[in-house]
Amino acid sequence: MTTFDDREKAFENKFAHDAELKFKAEARRNKLLGLWAAGLLGHRDEAAEAYAQTVIIADLEEPGEEDVLEKLTRDLEGKVDRGAIREKMTALMLQVAEEVSPTVP
């Protein structure tokens, strides 16, 4: 292999790794978001976990996070507005990013 081929392969591997990390981070964020919403809806224990799974699954419907936002907006109508949901999504994504990013010494 040439140096160019090696660099191309390394780039492809990094891209795949980054995409996998992003997917896992979004799934983790959605679970935490689902647990937060479940609490607002009065769900506890297994019911809260089951609801969180529906939020994770909702994210698989369309690319992006709008499908999750739409689900939560419908489910939390009268309890929390869309802006508060969006803020919680952002805050949880920042939290999850800190959890999964490697620390640099």
Per-residue pLDDT reduced to its tens digit, 13-46: 777 776 777 888 888 999 999 999 999 999 999 9
How many domains does the chain divide into?
1
Tens digit of each residue's pLDDT (9 = 90 or more) over 77-91: 999 999 999 999 999
Residue 63's pLDDT is: 79
For tokens 């976990």, name the residue.
49
Tokens at 68, concatenated:
């999750």
Residue with the bigger pLDDT between 72 and 18: it is 72
SS3 (DSSP) at 52: helix
- Domain containing 55 equals 18-99
CATH number of domain containing 33:
1.10.790.20
Instruction: Tell me if 104 is assigned to some domain.
Output: no
pLDDT of residue 4: 67
65 falls within a domain = yes
- Can you give the pTM of this predicted structure? 0.81
Average pLDDT taken over every residue of the chain: 87
pLDDT of 47 over the 50 cut: yes
Which residues have C-beta within 8 Å of that of residue 50, sequence separation ≥ 6?
43
